[in-house]
C-alpha cells in the first residue's frame, strides 16, 4: 500500500530504495504489524547487528504520516499503519470496478498461444486448463495495460484429416457431416481407428488423401473445409460460455508457406543436418536430443511450424513476450524450439516462455479421443448448470433470470475449479469435486458478491465524504480493507508468475473476511456516518470481487 514511500524513508548509505523495497514483507501475524523490514541482509554491508540497524531506521519510519508506530523486535522493524489513513484508500475501489487496474504494460504487446483445439475433435475436459488459464492471463495482462494478442494455434493439419476423409467416404457423406456436429465427426474418427486395426491398408489410403490436401486438390480440400467449419461452429459456442476471446485463429496450416524461409536460415547458418534422410538440428551440446524438422519423406513437424509461427508473430506483433500455455508433457518440445531459435539469432528468442500446466486424467486412467475414452466439456458445463438451476429452484424460486444465473453459477464453478490450484498440478477429474458448490468455490464468492449487492440496494446512496472510518477500522474491518487494497498486488503477482490462482485465492480470502465482518456488523444502521462507512466498504468489496471474477472469466450476479 505504502511500500514506495516506506522504501524512500528507509534508504540510507548502504541501503538503496530498491533494496529496501525488495526486503519489505508482510508478517505472518497481524500483531507483528502491517509490514516489516528484516534487517539481516543489510548487516554485512553496514557492519552492524540487525537490531542496531532496525533501531537506526525506526524514527524516520515512525515520522511518516501514514504510520501509527514502528517497533524493533530482534532484527526486524515492525511497522503499523494508521488505520484511518489506510481506510481512506478504499474510496476509489468503492467507486470503480477497475480495481487494481494499471498502465504498467503500456506500449508492450504480449502474445498468448492457448487452447489450440484440434479440428474435428470435440472439446473435452483436457482442453479446459489451457483454455481458462490462457483466458485468465489474457485478461490479467490487459488489466495491467498490455496489448494482448490471444492466439488459437489450431491443430488443422496432419494425417488425421486423411483418416476422416476415408471414414466419411466409407460410412457417411460430406452432406451428412456438414449437417451434423463435432460429436458425429468424432464417432467417425473413433470408428476409423477400430477398423484400421483390422485393415491397416486404410492408413495408406488416409496418407494419400492427406497428400491431396497438401497439394491443394479440390475434392480433398472440400472435405477439409467442411471438417473445419463444423468444428469451429461447435467450439465457438463453448468459447462463448467460457468468455474466451481470440484475436487470431492462425493454425498449423497457415504456416505451410512460411516454413521454407526458416529452413533456409538454418541451412545458411549450417545448423540443418541430414540424419537417416531426415533433417535435424543437433542439440547434443545442450543436453537435448536432436530437433527433428523434416522427416525422411519430406513432411514437416510441429517444431517446423512453431519456428515459422515465432517469426511470423515477431514480425506481425513485435511482441514483448510470447507465452505458450501448453501441458508440461511438451517441456522438451519447447526447450528444443527455444534453443533452435536462439541458434538462429531470432530476435525474440529470449522473450518466449512455456507456461506449463498439469495434465487432466480420468479416475480410471488417461483419456484418449482415439479410443473414445473422454469426458466432453459441454457435458460437464451442462451438468454444473443443471445442478445450479436445481439449487436456485430450491432456495430462491422467485428470482428473476433463473436460466442466466444458473449458467453463470454452473459454468463459473467449472472454471473456478480449474483456476484454484497452481497450474502445474496434475488433476484427476471428478464430477463430485467439480459439482461441489460448498466451501472455497465460485458460488461462494458469487454469493458474497450478491450479498454485497443486496446490502447496497437496501442502504441506497452513500456519501464517502461523510463517513465515520472508525466504524470499519476494528480488526475485522481492517482485515477487509487490507484485502481490498492488496488486490492490485495480487493481480501484478499473478501476471509476474503467470499464475491466475493468485487472483482466485485472493477473492476467496476477501469473501471470507467480508462475511466475517458482515456477520458481526450491521451495514444499514441509523447513524448516517457509520452507514456511509460500511456501505463504502461493502461497495469496495463488491467491486473487487466483481473485478477478480471478471479477470477469471466468471460472472458476478447481483442476485442468487
DSSP 102-114: --TTTT-EEEEE-
Helices (H), 427-474: 431-434, 442-459
Helices and strands (DSSP H and E) totals, the chain: 23, 12
Measured CA to CA, the distance from residue 134 to residue 148 in angstroms comes to: 11
Q: Which domains does the chain have, with CATH numbers?
A: 3-81 (3.30.1360.70), 160-242 (no CATH), 377-424+432-552 (1.10.730.10)
Which is nearest to 254 in space by CA: 391, 148, 116, 153? 153
| pLDDT tens for each residue of the chain, 560 residues long | 788 899 999 998 889 999 999 999 999 898 999 999 999 999 998 999 999 999 999 999 999 999 999 999 999 999 999 999 999 999 999 999 999 999 999 999 999 999 998 888 888 888 999 999 999 999 999 999 999 999 999 999 888 999 999 999 999 999 999 999 888 998 999 899 999 999 999 999 999 999 899 888 999 999 999 999 999 998 999 999 999 999 999 999 999 899 999 999 999 999 999 999 999 999 999 999 999 999 888 888 899 999 999 999 999 999 999 999 999 999 999 999 999 999 999 999 999 999 999 987 766 656 555 555 678 899 999 999 999 999 999 989 999 999 999 999 999 999 999 999 999 988 887 777 777 878 889 999 999 999 999 999 999 999 999 999 999 999 999 999 999 999 999 999 999 999 999 999 999 999 999 999 999 999 999 999 999 999 999 999 999 999 999 999 999 999 98
- Euclidean distance between CA atoms 378 and 257, whole angstroms: 35
Q: Cβ distance 408 to 387 under 8 Å?
A: no
Quote the CA–CA distance of 392 and 396 in Å, as a whole number: 5
Place of cell 458445463: 381
Q: Which residues pair with 366 in a beta bridge?
A: none
How many other β-carbons are positioned within 10 Å of the β-carbon of residue 389? 17
What is the CB neighbour count within 10 angstroms for residue 103?
Answer: 9
CA distance 532 to 459: 9
Helix (H, G, I), strand (E, B) or coil at 375: coil
DSSP, collapsed to helix, strand or coil, labels residue 397 as coil
Amino acid at each position: 500500500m505504502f511500500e514506495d514511500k516506506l522504501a524512500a524513508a528507509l534508504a540510507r548509505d548502504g541501503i538503496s530504495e530498491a533494496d529496501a523495497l525488495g526486503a519489505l514483507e508482510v508478517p505472518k501475524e497481524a500483531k507483528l504489524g502491517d509490514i516489516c523490514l528484516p534487517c539481516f541482509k543489510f548487516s554485512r554491508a553496514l557492519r552492524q547487528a540487525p537490531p542496531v540497524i532496525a533501531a537506526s531506521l525506526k524514527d524516520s519510519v515512525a515520522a511518516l504520516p501514514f504510520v501509527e508506530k514502528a517497533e524493533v523486535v530482534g532484527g526486524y522493524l515492525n511497522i503499523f499503519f494508521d488505520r484511518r489513513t489506510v481506510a481512506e484508500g478504499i474510496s476509489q475501489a468503492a467507486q470503480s470496478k477497475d480495481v487494481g487496474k494499471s498502465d504498467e504494460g503500456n506500449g508492450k504487446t504480449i502474445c498468448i498461444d492457448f487452447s489450440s483445439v484440434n479440428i474435428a475433435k470435440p472439446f473435452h475436459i483436457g482442453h479446459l486448463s489451457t483454455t481458462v488459464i490462457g483466458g485468465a492471463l489474457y485478461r490479467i495482462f490487459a488489466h495491467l495495460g498490455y496489448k494482448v494478442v490471444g492466439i488459437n494455434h489450431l491443430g488443422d493439419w496432419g494425417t488425421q484429416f486423411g483418416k476422416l476423409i476415408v471414414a466419411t467416404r466409407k460410412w457417411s457423406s460430406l452432406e451428412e457431416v456438414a449437417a451434423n456436429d463435432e460429436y458425429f465427426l468424432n464417432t467417425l474418427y473413433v470408428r476409423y481407428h477400430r477398423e484400421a486395426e483390422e485393415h491397416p491398408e486404410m492408413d495408406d489410403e488416409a496418407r494419400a488423401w492427406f497428400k491431396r490436401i497438401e497439394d491443394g486438390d479440390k475434392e480433398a480440400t472440400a472435405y477439409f473445409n467442411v471438417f473445419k467449419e463444423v468444428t469451429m461452429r461447435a467450439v465457438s459456442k463453448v468459447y462463448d460460455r467460457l468468455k474466451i476471446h481470440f484475436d487470431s485463429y492462425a493454425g498449423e496450416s497457415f504456416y505451410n508457406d512460411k516454413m521454407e524461409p526458416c529452413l533456409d536460415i538454418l541451412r545458411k547458418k549450417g545448423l540443418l543436418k541430414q540424419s537417416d534422410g531426415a533433417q535435424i538440428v543437433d542439440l547434443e551440446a545442450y543436453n537435448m536430443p536432436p530437433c527433428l524438422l523434416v522427416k525422411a519423406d519430406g513432411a514437416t513437424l510441429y517444431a517446423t511450424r512453431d519456428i515459422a509461427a515465432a517469426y511470423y508473430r515477431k514480425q506481425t506483433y513485435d511482441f514483448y513476450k510470447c507465452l505458450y500455455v501448453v501441458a508440461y508433457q511438451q517441456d522438451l518440445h519447447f526447450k528444443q524450439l527455444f534453443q533452435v531459435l536462439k541458434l538462429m539469432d531470432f530476435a525474440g528468442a529470449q522473450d518466449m516462455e512455456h507456461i506449463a500446466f498439469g495434465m487432466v486424467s480420468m479416475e480410471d486412467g488417461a483419456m484418449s479421443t482415439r479410443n473414445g475414452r473422454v469426458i466432453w466439456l459441454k457435458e460437464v458445463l451442462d451438468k454444473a448448470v443443471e445442478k445450479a438451476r436445481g439449487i436456485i429452484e430450491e432456495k430462491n424460486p422467485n428470482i428473476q433470470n433463473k436460466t442466466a444465473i444458473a449458467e453463470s453459477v454452473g459454468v463459473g464453478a467449472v472454471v473456478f475449479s480449474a483456476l484454484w490450484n497452481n497450474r502445474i498440478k496434475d488433476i484427476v477429474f471428478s464430477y463430485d469435486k467439480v459439482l461441489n458448490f460448498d466451501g472455497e468455490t465460485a458460488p461462494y464468492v458469487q454469493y458474497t458478491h450478491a450479498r454485497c449487492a443486496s446490502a447496497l440496494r437496501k442502504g441506497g446512496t452513500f456519501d464517502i465524504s461523510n463517513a465515520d472510518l472508525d466504524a470499519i477500522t476494528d480488526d475485522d474491518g481492517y482485515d477487509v480493507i487490507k484485502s481490498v487494497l492488496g488486490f492490485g498486488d495480487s493481480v501484478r503477482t499473478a501476471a509476474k508468475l503467470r499464475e491466475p490462482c493468485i487472483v482466485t485465492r485472493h477473492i476467496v480470502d476477501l469473501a471470507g473476511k467480508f462475511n466475517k465482518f458482515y456477520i458481526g456488523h450491521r451495514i444499514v444502521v441509523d447513524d448516517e456516518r457509520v452507514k456511509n462507512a460500511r456501505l463504502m466498504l461493502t461497495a469496495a468489496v463488491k467491486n473487487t470481487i466483481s473485478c477478480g471474477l471478471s479477470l477469471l472469466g466468471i460472472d458476478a450476479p447481483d442476485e442468487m
